[in-house]
Amino acid sequence: MEYEKDGISAKIIKHDLPFKKSYLYIPHGPTMDFNQMTGGFKNPVTNFVKWLREEAKKRKSIFVKIEPLLDSVAQALVDPPAGGKFRKSKKEIQPSKTVIVDLNQSEDELPAVSLSNLLGRMHHKTRYNIGIADKHGVTVGESSGIDVFLELLKKTTKRDKFHPHPKNYYEKLLKFFEGGKEIQVKLFLAYHPVSNSRELENRGGRDPRPIAGAVVLVYRDSGYYLHGASDYEYRAMMAPHALHWHIIKQLKAEGLKQYDLWGINPRKWPGVTRFKLGWGGDTIEYPGSFDLTISRFWFLVYKVARKFL
């Protein structure tokens, strides 16, 4: 589903729940162009919330979750009289603190593959690991191989002991924005060439081997790193470094202004946080997650059930 009216834009994803219920989710949105709301934002926001309620009821959704990128949007949806029904949620789907790499810099100021090009903002270890990946012959390209990515994700979740989204979440994410003009989702895979004939035979003649992947959402002038996975067996090849360096170069070549590495938390994810901070970006904090209750009874059931899952 999508909404595009009076300066408000939103892409809405439906997530199924038990008992034929569901909830609606707006990732990285909604967005609001307040300059288009010439008569004030009260009526456009009120109409948007009313539309959300109607659509949610049609789909037996018990709540609507939004995660806007701007405080002004969150404020418009929380404060009465236009908003007033959205409430801050402790349950975030996307982390609210992130690292953003500025792509407006000249090519010489961005991290280069050459180890001799010393850079001020990037951590020296990150630069070094890009060179390691290059020496191992790691290559990167866009792909439509969602099943390949899911296999890598399965290895990652088993190793790091966390629960991924259901398979259909990733499939819906890629398919929903497929061929989109305003919002696109790209899948990047990093490969390593098969090193011997026996391994090549075991792989059925398929060369090279996918060893890391990333799902990136592109919206307006920004790229957002949503999900990543890698094969721990090939960790010495530093494929994630080659992967993100390729993404940064491609997004810059496409004219984007920033790459949002999306999600840091030194306490919960110390290794991931170090990796993302290593790219020399700026740390930014977003408003967080907000919920609009559609059915009070079922929303209460949902929150109670979550405590035991």
147-175 tens-digit pLDDT:
999 999 988 887 776 677 778 888 888 77
Say whether both 116 and 263 belong to one domain.
yes
* pLDDT tens digits for range 186-200: 999 999 986 544 554
pLDDT of residue 196: 46
Alpha-carbon span 15 to 93, nearest angstrom: 12
pLDDT(295) > 70: yes
User: Considering only 7-21, 70-84, 91-105, 291-305, which range has the smallest mean pLDDT?
Assistant: 70-84
Average pLDDT over residues 84-97: 86
Say whether both 155 and 213 belong to one domain.
yes
Say whether both 157 and 237 belong to one domain.
yes
Say whether both 249 and 127 belong to one domain.
yes
Taking the model in full, what pTM does it have?
Answer: 0.71
* pLDDT tens digits for range 10-40: 999 999 999 999 999 998 899 999 888 876 6
Say whether both 295 and 151 belong to one domain.
no
Alpha-carbon span 223 to 251, nearest angstrom: 7
CATH code of 261's domain: 3.40.630.30
- Count: domains in the chain: 2
- CB contact at 8 A, 211 and 240: no
Say whether both 184 and 59 belong to one domain.
no
Say whether both 83 and 217 belong to one domain.
no
Q: Which domain holds residue 29?
A: 2-93+288-306
pLDDT of residue 212: 97
Share of residues in the chain with pLDDT > 90 (%) = 53
Say whether both 36 and 124 belong to one domain.
no
Range picked from 83-92, 110-119, 133-142 for highest mean pLDDT: 133-142
Q: For 139, phi and psi rounded to 5 degrees?
A: -120, 160
Say whether both 21 and 126 belong to one domain.
no
Say whether both 300 and 281 belong to one domain.
no
Average pLDDT over residues 249-261: 91
Instruction: Dihedral sign for Cα 240, 241, 247, 250, please.
Output: negative
Distance, CA of 54 to chain centre: 28
pLDDT of residue 302: 86
Say whether both 140 and 250 belong to one domain.
yes
User: Which tokens in the block code for residue 35?
Assistant: 């300059």
Say whether both 172 and 212 belong to one domain.
yes
